[in-house]
Amino acid sequence: MAEHLSQSELDYPFKLLEYFNGFRVSKVIFSACELGVFDLLLKAQEPLSAQHVALELSTSEDGMERLLDALVGMEILEVETTDGTALYSSSDVANLYLAKGSGKSLHDMIIYQSQTIYPLWNNLVDAVREGKNQNEKTFGLPPEDIFQAVYRSEEEMLKFMGLMNSSWILDGHDIATAFNLSCFQKIVDLGGCTGALAREMAKAYPSSSVTVFDLPPVVETAQKHFCQEDDAVLFQSGDFFSGDVPPADLYVLARIIHDWPEEKCLMLLKKLYDACKPGGGVLLVEAMLFENRRGPVTAQIFSLNMLVQMEGRERPPSGYTSILNKVGFHNVQVCRTGKSYDAILAVR
């Protein structure tokens, strides 16, 4: 970063100003999503005026016109002026990722970022000062019970599960195929939430059985809202800290280790080591930091998110290797996918 921001930024701080504006850029997209702009433009199948969009979505005309113009400037919408009237239409990217209906929609990810992460990040200064999450200040919930805060209402649970589900629309296939896992007959995705990653595993390894293990209310909600009748994965409920884990040849832990303090991670990994037969393994899925501390900036920002919301952190490969080795796992292999999430495989 220091290199990038050196000479030319001294003349005029373009990049710095762009960073300052980052939260507004996010909020423009989030607000358009929450108001239903992308869904309306997709449904309309023809360019619409700001007046028309405002009327349909019950907003002020002036506010909507400014929002649509900002989205044009960000190259998310397109505009043509006919007879003095600006007519707005969606881009292919907006139709694919920002409207609700498409199979690749990131709508749920956006809603969670806007309504839960954004208020938490308002307290980032205090999180850094105090070195702990801001669930108490933001939501009035005790900092030590992180999932009580995450699941503080049925609505919040659904939103969080929607967020978790969205990530695997983008990265699921790359993670499932980062290593050849076909030698593992029984795969258990611990804290597997909606089953989105587990389904990618089941698709990639059709002769293996894949089970999602999660807390009872999460399994109940997953089965009600995220499962199909002929689902390729099984669900089992329990608590991976206080109870037993189902037997497996491979335990998948996607975005689990980054939630918890090191002592809890070691306790869980030791439990899995004891539950594994020789040759069994664990697959950790996380956004990995570079060893030289220089990025990726998304993983560094995720690590701050873990501070603001959870009790854990992101790590570089050596951090994962160290905790895996401490409990006895060896042959640690790392696969960087080049996308948001990476995979680490270790065996007993």
Ligand X SMILES: C[S@@+](CC[C@H](N)C(=O)[O-])C[C@H]1O[C@@H](n2cnc3c(N)ncnc32)[C@H](O)[C@@H]1O
> Whose CB is nearest to ligand X?
191
Q: Is residue 296 reached through a cis peptide bond, with omega within 30 degrees of 0 on the bond before it?
A: yes
Taking alpha carbons only, the member of 323, 331, 334 closest to residue 347 is 331
Q: Which stretch binds ligand X (CB under 6 A): 2-10, 82-90, 116-124, 213-221?
A: 213-221
Among 171, 214, 249, 314, binds ligand X (CB under 6 A): 214
Nearby residues of 228 by Cβ (< 8 Å), 6 or more positions away:
none
Q: Which is nearer to ligand X, 65 or 342 (CB)?
A: 342
Subset of residues 266 to 295 that bind ligand X, contact rule: CB under 6 A: none
By CB under 6 A, tell whether 33 contacts ligand X: no
Interface residue with ligand X, options 108, 249, 259, 311 (CB under 6 A) = 259
* Interface with ligand X: number of residues (CB under 6 A): 17
Query: Of 13 and 217, which CB lies nearer to ligand X in the complex structure?
Result: 217
The interface region with ligand X, picked from 32-40, 70-78, 249-257, 299-307 by CB under 6 A, is 249-257
Selected from 107, 199, 255, 313, the binder of ligand X by CB under 6 A is 255
Q: What is the DSSP letter of 114?
A: I
- 119 backbone dihedrals φ, ψ, rounded to 5°: -60, -35
Q: What is the contact mask toward ligand X in residues 306 to 345, using x (rule: CB under 6 A)?
A: ----------------------------------------
Q: Tell me the two tokens of residue 50.
A: 């700001």
Separation between Cα atoms, residue 214 and residue 306, nearest integer Å: 20
Q: CA distances (Å), 111 to each of 26, 93, 162, 242, 265, in order?
A: 11, 18, 9, 32, 29
Q: Considering only residues 201, 256, 269, 323, which one is a binding residue for ligand X as defined by CB under 6 A?
A: 256
State the nearest-atom distance from the C-beta of 20 to ligand X, in Å: 30
Tokens of 47: 């360019």
Closest CA to 238 of 211, 264, 259: 211
Cβ-Cβ contacts under 8 Å for 314 (sequence gap 6 or more): 258, 286, 287, 288, 289, 299, 300, 302, 303, 306
Stretch that binds ligand X, among 169-177, 191-199, 311-319, 323-331 (CB under 6 A): 191-199
From edge to edge, which strands make up the β-sheet containing 330-335? 234-237, 209-214, 186-190, 250-254, 281-286, 342-347, 330-335
Q: What is the DSSP letter of 101?
A: S
- Does 147 bind ligand X (CB under 6 A)? Our answer is yes
Interaction of residue 175 with ligand X, rule CB under 6 A = no
Neighbours of 131 (CB within 10 A): 8
Rule CB under 6 A: say whether 245 interacts with ligand X.
Answer: no
Residue with tokens 């002769």: 207
User: Rounded to the nearest whole angstrom, what is the least distance from the CB of residue 83 to ligand X in the complex?
Assistant: 49
Catalytic residue among 4, 107, 258, 330: 258
Considering only 36-44, 80-88, 110-118, 214-222, which stretch makes contact with ligand X by CB under 6 A? 214-222
172 lines the binding site for ligand X (CB under 6 A): no
* Least Cβ distance, residue 257 to ligand X (angstroms): 10
Q: Which pair of structure tokens corresponds to residue 170?
A: 């983008």
- Note whether 164 binds ligand X by CB under 6 A: yes
- Phi/psi region, residue 10 (left: phi>0; alpha: psi -120 to 50; beta: rest), is alpha
Interaction pattern, residues 215-244, with ligand X; x per rule: CB under 6 A:
x--x--------------------xxx---
User: Closer to ligand X at the Cβ: 39 or 189?
Assistant: 189
Told to judge if 258 belongs to the known catalytic residues of this protein, a careful annotator would answer yes
Candidate list 36, 192, 280, 281; residue touching ligand X; CB under 6 A: 192
Q: Which of 147, 245, 241, 271 is nearest to 189 (CA)?
A: 245
Binding site for ligand X (CB under 6 A): 147, 164, 167, 191-193, 197, 214-215, 218, 239-241, 254-256, 259
Active site residues: 258
